Amino acid sequence: MNGADAIAKCLVKEGVDTIFGYSGVAIDPFWNSVGKEKIKAVLVRTEQNAGHAANGYARTLGKAGVCAVTSGPGATNLLTGIATAYADSIPLVCITGQVNTDQIGSDVFQEADVTGAAESFVKYSYLIRDVKDIPRIIHEAFFVASTGRRGPVLIDIPMDIQLKRIPDFDYPLEEPKMRTYKPTVKGNAVQIKKVIKVLENAKKPLIIAGGGVFLSGAKKEVRSFVEKHSVPVVSTMMGLGVLPSDHPLYYGMVGNNGNAIANRALRECDTLMMVGARVADRAVAAPNMTFDGKVLIHMDVDPAEIGKNVGPTIPIVGDIKHIFLDFLEAEFETRHDTWVNMLDLYRDSVKEERHSSRDFVNPQSFVHKLSLAMKDTSVYVADVGQNQLFSCRNIILREKTKFFTSGGMGTMGYSIPAAMGVKAAEPGTQVVAVCGDGSFQMSMMELATINQFKFPIKIVVMRNRYLGLVREHQHHNYNDEYNMVFIGEEPELSKIAEAYGVGYLRADNMDGIDEKIGEFLSDDKTVIFEVSIDPEENVMSV
Amino acid sequence: MKKIYSVQVENRSGVLSKVAGLFARRSFNIDSLAVGETEDKNISCMTIVSSGDDRTLEQIEKQLNKKLDVIKIKTFEEQEAINRELMLIKVKYNKSNRKEIMEICQAMKADIVDMSKYHIMIQICDTPERTEHFVKLLSGISIVELARTGTLALAKCEM
């Protein structure tokens, strides 16, 4: 047994059934060994997308996604995929081949210091120098990636170590013991009592839920809590779907791209519980936002997030699920009917505008209709740009629908490979990727992967011939002086669809849009649905 | 505000760059940095002096704690610790200033550790303020080379 065989065996022990990646000489021993195991190896078309596909896979199953690429350019191409996962705290184990140990540092062919390059956006990285360390390192990598604040872990492994004989292979089963890594899981009991006291006295409490709720698998607990204590909920972009869109206590997404009612709730609340949310710039840059005079309760598994952006009155470090289980066990009850009624009045008075033009598809209505037509258990993956914001603002999410997007990093081209990852994880799930002209062209090469490995996904391309969100920015900030945002008439998507052997549909306006959406979603085949959007359409509520 | 971080880290290759990289990436200042093995050869101690507002100083500690190579962090303010810095200074001398140099060294408890026909090398080990003061005292004398360790600090012995 050599090092590569050992890695493959370790991956099987960790329950890995799919690896996304690309080949190359420095990672060849690895793929050779993976080929002998019951693991599906998915060959993407560029390494970055291996990261995104593993990301979609991880978010679907709630366990670490795995990708593997070769040294040098393979590894550097993967960096964006790693950074994207890091920004959204998605657990990944990324394996990169490296040149032979004795060549490291001598700038040989396809050598790049990937552990150095990735340092500021991995949770941890390893460069394996001794074949005997393989079982320990792989075991630690999965543990680190999928506990505490989730995130990507990088394992760089030189070719000679992959080929070296491993004397005896013994895979540890117990939790790794690491003196430098002990994430806090359980919330401090005293702090929890304090929060209960505050909630009992609060007149206008509000929960702002972030991606941490999903990462800790606490959706059910959070819902039970807010229903029991009648606490209204708003979400960040990463928290979309924490409650179904039509839940009486859900008031939409906050932020400068969010819903007016959610921002109003955020402004007017007296007690704000930030639950698994970083409260980053995009979420709180809402008009007239201030936290003065509010009681701020911040719950996060990462102590460094607490106090980073806003200073909390009461911090609770811990896993959201554990914290909410503790809340549910505590004997207390609160009602906030006056506050809820007030928010309901606001909600009734604000109607999201969905004006429609005869000449184009209205993107707001389209997203609304599309999400209503999707299956209850489907996954909607939004890309980055106007398409993302149209999606966030207008999507209807149900109990079991999931919404994925690159929230923190805002990586264009995320949706199609991430949707592939969803499909790899759950072949029966309906997956829709929504992108724009720009983001589609950043990952359309994956249409070949989709066919080769049978990951049928539904792709919406909102076409307006512009990199729309930046055009909009230039419209507001540069007096309509448009630079580097017109992306041209090409390619003809019907021909792209034909070239890759996938279905094609097109809507130029709203005529018969419901039927077209119905047709688009009618089967389990890959279809590109091109929808024409007004190039002048703006999404931001300036 | 200034703060001293005494950081115990795993003595592995690449750890220094990970810690230094963290400071660069998050725009934290490093006023000084000194690294060396501890009594346990698997553990190194990094003494980092940094400055910034309260929030930054708190973030430094929290972000350092997130690093998986960091075992333990002790933080203290200057007055809570014994701080020392070692400095070597090579100066040019001649007949007219030799005596002055000797006097300054004597007054500041600095040692002459090497000497040639034109150059004297002086060693001083003292608090960062006093080593800085020493450099000022030598301002009239031409300094050829200067090297310093950065601050080393340990919390004062408990009473």
Which of A178, A181, A308 is the closest to B59 by Cβ?
A308
Quick one: DSSP state of residue A291? -
Torsion of CA A111, A116, A121, A125, to 10 degrees: 90
Window 124-143 of A: residues touching B by CB (8 A cutoff) are 124, 127
CATH topology of domain A189-349: Rossmann fold (3.40.50)
* B106 and B92 assigned to the same domain: yes
C-alpha A333/C-alpha B62 separation (Å) is: 35
**Domain containing B116: what range?**
82-155
pLDDT at A269: 95
Residue ranges per structural domain of chain A: 3-163, 189-349, 363-532
Its pTM stands at 0.93
Total Cβ atoms within 10 A of residue A228: 13
User: pLDDT category, B122, cuts 50, 70, 90?
Assistant: very high
Same fold: A3-163 with A189-349: yes
Query: Do B89 and B142 share a domain, yes or no?
Result: yes
The alpha carbon torsion through B47, B48, B51, B52 (nearest 10 deg) reads: -120
Q: What is the model's pLDDT at position A76?
A: 98
Q: State residue A278's pLDDT score.
A: 86
Rounded to the nearest angstrom, the minimum Cα separation between A59 and chain B is 23
Is A115's Cβ below 8 Å from some Cβ in B?
yes
Question: Which among B43, B61, B76 is the end of a domain?
Answer: B76
User: What is the CA A129 to chain-centroid distance, rounded?
Assistant: 33
* Short-list A405, A436, A441, CA closest to A46: A441
User: Considering B76, B109, B133, which residue would you say is the last residue of a domain?
Assistant: B76
Q: Does B86 share its domain with B127?
A: yes
| CATH number assigned to the domain comprising residue B147 | 3.30.70.1150
Q: Which CATH number fits domain A3-163: 3.40.50.970, 1.20.1260.10, 3.40.50.1110, 3.40.50.1970?
A: 3.40.50.970
Taking residue A13's Cβ as centre, other Cβ atoms within 10 Å add up to: 15
Task: State the first-to-last Cα distance of chain A, in angstroms, to the nearest integer.
Answer: 62
Give A115's contacts in chain B (Cβ within 8 Å): 14
* Angle formed by the axes of helices A47-61 and A73-87, nearest 10°: 30
Spatial contact of A74 and A28, defined as CB atoms under 8 Å apart:
no
Selection from A81, A153, A82 nearest residue A123 by Cα = A153
Rounded Cα distance, B20 and B4, in Å? 15
The superfamily CATH assigns to domain A363-532 is: Thiamin diphosphate (ThDP)-binding fold, Pyr/PP domains (3.40.50.970)
Nearest CA in chain B to A309: B55
Q: Let me know whether B33 and B70 are in one domain.
A: yes
Which of B76, B101, B122 delimits the end of a domain?
Answer: B76
Assess whether B19 and B72 both reside in one domain. Answer: yes
Q: Which residue has 């070769």 as its token pair? A: A70
Contacts of A119 in chain B (CB under 8 A): 17-18, 21
* Residue among A251, A242, A238, A262 at smallest CA distance from A541: A262
- Residue of B56, B60, B64, B66 to mutate, testing the A interface (most A Cβ within 10 Å of its Cβ): B66
| Chain A residues touching B71 at Cβ < 8 A | 179-180
Q: Give the CATH number of the domain where residue B24 resides.
A: 3.30.70.260
* ipTM surpasses 0.90: no
User: Euclidean distance between the first and final Cα of chain B, in Å?
Assistant: 26
Q: Chain B interface, mutation test: which of A104, A119, A140, A305, most B Cβ atoms within 10 Å?
A: A119
Query: Which conformational region is residue A272 in: left (phi greater than 0), alpha (psi within -120 to 50 degrees), or beta?
Result: beta
pLDDT tens for chain A, 542 residues long, are: 999 999 999 999 999 999 999 999 999 999 999 999 999 999 999 999 999 999 999 999 999 999 999 999 999 999 999 999 999 999 999 999 999 999 999 999 999 999 999 999 999 999 999 999 999 999 999 999 999 999 999 999 999 999 999 988 889 889 999 999 999 999 999 999 999 999 999 999 999 999 999 999 999 999 999 999 999 999 999 999 999 999 999 999 998 888 889 999 999 999 999 999 987 776 665 555 677 788 999 999 999 998 887 778 899 999 999 999 999 999 998 999 999 999 999 988 877 666 667 899 999 999 999 999 999 999 999 999 999 999 999 999 999 999 999 999 999 999 999 999 999 999 999 999 999 999 999 999 999 999 999 999 999 999 999 999 999 999 999 999 999 999 999 999 999 999 999 999 999 999 999 999 999 999 999 999 999 999 999 987 65
Residues of chain B neighbouring A304 (CB-CB closer than 8 A): 59, 62-63, 65-66
Look at chain B and report how many structural domains it folds into: 2
- For residues B69 and B98, membership in a common domain is answered with no
Chain A residues within an 8 Å CB radius of B10: 180
Claim to verify: residue B67 and residue B86 sit in the same structural domain = no
Please check whether residues B9 and B64 belong to one and the same domain.
yes
